[in-house]
């Protein structure tokens, strides 16, 4: 069975099922994609090159259990998946990585703050 226009198909279904008070949403997925794109672009502008710097200066073994959550007032906020990752990252930062991040960001990042939390947001 070929349906044709999906909106017309839904309208026909509503009429046949006598659903009152419900309407077909006027927004399409295109509007949601547009909002998501704008949000991602804002986040990318705000984060700048922090992701590239993080990838370059933090070893894979630590970086795999971290997530950058934002930059506020020159402070790079990092979420770690465990206390042991926080400890390893703290050691790394104290041994000179924080200074390297500061220099690589040209002063945009002045400090790195960590907290333990959920790193993998895709598995909700």
Query: Are 34 and 54 contained in the same domain?
Result: no
Q: Quick one: 32 and 74 in the same domain?
A: no
pTM above 0.75, yes or no: no
91-102: per-residue pLDDT in tens? 999 999 999 999
Tally the domains of the chain.
2
Distance CA(115)–CA(122), nearest Å, equals: 19
User: What residues form DSSP beta bridges with 111?
Assistant: 75
Asked if residue 97 and residue 40 are part of one domain, the reply reads no
Quickly list DSSP for 26-55: S--HHHHHHHHHHHHHHHHHHHTTHHHHHH
- The predicted-structure confidence for 25-80, as pLDDT tens digits, reads as follows 666 787 888 888 888 888 777 777 888 899 999 999 999 999 998 888 999 999 99
Domain carrying residue 108: 48-124
56 and 94 share one domain: yes
- 55 and 110 together in one domain: yes
Q: 72 with 112, same domain? A: yes
């Amino acid at each position: 069975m070929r349906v044709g226009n999906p909106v017309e198909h839904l309208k026909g279904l509503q009429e046949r099922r006598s659903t009152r008070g419900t309407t077909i949403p006027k927004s399409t997925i295109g509007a949601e994609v547009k909002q998501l794109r704008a949000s991602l672009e804002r986040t990318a502008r705000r984060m700048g090159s922090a992701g590239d710097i993080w990838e370059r200066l933090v070893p894979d073994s630590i970086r795999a259990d971290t997530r950058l959550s934002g930059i506020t007032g020159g402070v790079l906020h990092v979420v770690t998946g465990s206390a042991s990752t926080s400890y390893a990252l703290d050691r790394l930062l104290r041994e000179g990585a924080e200074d390297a991040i500061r220099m690589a960001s040209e002063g945009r990042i002045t400090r790195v703050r960590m907290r333990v939390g959920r790193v993998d947001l895709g598995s909700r």
